[in-house]
Amino acid sequence: MSDVRVARLVTETMRGRITRRQVLSAGLRLGLASPVITALMAAAPEETGAAPPSLRVVPARNQGEGGSTFTLITASSPSDLDPHYAYNNVSSTVFLAPYEMLIQLKGSSTDEYEPMLAESWESNADGSQYTFKLAPNALFHDGSPCDAEAVKASFTRFLQQEAGPYLVIARFVDDPEQMVVVDATTIRFDLGRPQPLFLPAMASEYGPFIVNPRVVEENKTEDDPFAHEWLRSNAAGSGPYTVEEFEVDERIVLRKFEDYHRGWEGNHFNEIVIRVVPENATRRQLIESGEADAITLNLTPDDVTALQANPDLDVQIYESTNAVWVIMNVPRLKTTEVRKGFSYAFPYDDVLNGAYKGLLERSGPLAPSTRGADPNIFLYQTDLAKAKELILSGGFKEGDTFTYQMPAEDEVERVVAQLFQANVQAMGFNLEIQEIDYAALSDLVYGDSPAEERPDFIGGWGWWPDYNDPWNQLAPNFLASSFGSGGSNSGNWVNERFEAIMAEAETYTDEARLNELMREAQNILTEQDPPCIYYGTLKWYTVLRKDIQGFYSNPLYLGAYPFYNMYRGDA
C-alpha cells in the first residue's frame, strides 16, 4: 500500500497538484528519506494565495459521473475516524457519512428526532426504559447484519473503551447489562430511573454511532483490544457512504454504499470528497470559482460579507449553541471585584460589530437556544471608569501588566484581543498579547499546570453542548473537578453554591425545576462571581454553490452535513 501511495505522491507532485506543505506532510508520513522529500518539494508549487493547479482544472460540478461528486473544503483534517474515540468537530463532520446513530435530530430542531438506524422507538411511562426497533434490512459495509446484537456490542465497546465522548452515554448507561436484546431487530435500554435526556444524548453527534463488532474483533490485538488503531484510519459502519480513501492533512474520499438500508431512490451524491485546505485565501478562491461546493465557518467575517453578493453562492447564516468567552485566572486576578472589573472593561460592541461583523449575538455561558438559557441574563456593558475602580480595589495599580494568550491561527480573535488591549491600556494598565498555536493552547487549558503558571486571560475559548442540556454545557467548563483533570475550568474557579446547583441539575427530572436552577447558576457565573468574560454566541455559516440542494443546518450538529439528503440540482 505504501508503494502505491509513494507513486501517487510523485505523480501528484510532478503534475503540480499539491503544494510543498502537502509534500512535506505526506513524505514524512510515508517515511521517505530526506533527500527524496527535498527533491519533491522543489518540484511542487509554492504556497501562495492562489489555488494549486489541480484545484483549478475541473469545476466540482463536473467531477464524477453525472456531476455526482460533492466537494467540501475544511481547514484541518481529522486525525481519528473512530467515533467512540474522537471528540472534535472536525471528525464529527465526517461521521454522519459512514456511520449511523439509532436516531438523529430532525432537521434544524434541537428537541425533535427522526429515524436513522432505528425505525421507531418508545419509552415507558416514567422515562426509565427506552426500546428501539431497528431497520430489519440494515447491513454493515462488509455485508454483515447490523442487528440488535451488533448494536449492543457497539455500545459495550463505547462504554468499556472509556475514551473521548463515552460520558455522553455513560451518564445514563454505565453497565452493558442495562442493554437487553429483545429480538434481532429490537433493543431495550433499562436506565434504572427516569432519564428525560436519554434521547437527546442518543442523538448527539459525539459518540453514539454504531461500529461493526465483527470488524473490531478481526482487527483487535492484545495491546489494542478495541481495534482503535485500525479504526483511526478506517471506518466500519452502516451509513450511506464508505471511506474509500483517507490521507491525513489532505483528503477523505467517501463512496456510495450500494446496500444502504434506506436505498438510493431519488437524487443523491455518488461520491463525497472532503479536502483539507489550510490557507484561507485558497479556501475562498475554491468556493468562488466553483472548484468546491461547500465550506462551513472556515472563512473570515469579511469573506462572508463579500460572498453574500456573489450570485453563484448561497450563504446560509444560522443560530448555533456555540458560546464564546475569555477565561479569567482566578488566583492571579485575586478577587471577584477584579474579575467584574475586567468584565466591564471588555469592548463588547466593538467585538460584535468590528471583529465578528455581526456574526455574533450577546449571551452568557449558555446560547439562547440551549435548554435552560435565561432570557433575562445579566450582561455586562463596557464601562471603563467602573472597571478601573474595581480592578484597583483588588490591589492592582496603574502600570501593572496582565498576560493574554490566544490561538495564533485565529484572525478574528486577534482583533478581539487587540480591542481588549486598547481598553486595558486606556485605563492605565498593560495587556501583553501572547499568540500560541491552538494545540498548545488546548494543552494549556486541559492540562494540569497550576493556575499561578497560567496567563491572566485565555482568549478565543468556546463551547457547545454534546446535546441540548445546560449541565452538559456548564459542567466541563466551571465545575471545580474540571480544573487540571481534562476539563476546561482553566482559571481554577470554585463556587460552592454553583457546585450544589450542578449536582441537582445533573439528575433533574422536572423541567421547571431545571430552569429555576439554571437561572441561579447563570447569575452566579455572570453578575455574582464571573470566571469568564462572556461576549456572545457565534452565528455559524455555510457557503454553498447555488446548485447544491438538500442542506440544512442544526444548532447542535455544527459543521455536519446531511450528506445522504444532498444532491446537485437547479440553482
> pLDDT tens digits, residue range 492-516?
999 999 999 999 999 999 999 999 9
CATH number at residue 126: 3.90.76.10
Asked whether 117 and 100 are in contact (CB, 8 A), the reply is: yes
Asked whether 392 and 384 are in contact (CB, 8 A), the reply is: no
Count of all residues that appear for the chain in the document: 571
Co-location of 160 and 205 in the same domain: yes
Burial 464-492 (b: 16+ CB within 10 A, else e): bbbbbbbbbbbbbbbbbebbeeebbbbbb
Q: How many CA atoms lie within 13 A of 182 on its CB side?
A: 11
Boundary residue ending a domain (216, 232, 265): 216
Question: In the block, which residue shows the cell 475554491?
Answer: 286
DSSP 184: T
All residue ranges of the chain with pLDDT < 50 are 1-5, 8, 11-12, 15, 17-19, 21-22, 25, 29, 46-67
Question: In the block, which residue shows the cell 449558555?
Answer: 366
Co-location of 352 and 473 in the same domain: yes
Residue 562 lies in a domain: yes
Residue 124 lies in a domain: yes
Residue 28 lies in a domain: yes
Q: How many CA atoms lie within 13 A of 65 on its CB side?
A: 4
Residue 225 lies in a domain: no
H helix or E strand, kind and range, residue 278: none
Co-location of 445 and 557 in the same domain: no
> pLDDT tens digits, residue range 128-156?
999 999 999 999 999 999 999 999 999 99
Residue 223 lies in a domain: no
Of 490, 495, 497, the residue nearest 530 (C-alpha): 495
Residue 94 lies in a domain: no
pLDDT value, residue 49: 37
Co-location of 42 and 130 in the same domain: no
pLDDT value, residue 88: 87
Residue 552 lies in a domain: yes
Residue 500 lies in a domain: yes
Co-location of 343 and 481 in the same domain: yes
Co-location of 501 and 480 in the same domain: yes
User: Can you spell out the DSSP letters for 123-153?
Assistant: E-TTSSEEEEEEPTT-B-TTS-B--HHHHHH
Co-location of 361 and 283 in the same domain: no
Co-location of 478 and 403 in the same domain: yes
CATH number at residue 566: 3.40.190.10
pLDDT value, residue 62: 41
Number of structural domains in the chain = 4
- Domain limits at 389? 323-538
Co-location of 147 and 287 in the same domain: no
Of 485, 564, 40, 476, the residue nearest 266 (C-alpha): 564
Co-location of 43 and 54 in the same domain: no
Co-location of 461 and 519 in the same domain: yes
pLDDT value, residue 383: 98
Q: Is 314 helix (H, G, I), strand (E, B) or coil?
A: strand
Co-location of 24 and 131 in the same domain: no
CATH number at residue 513: 3.10.105.10
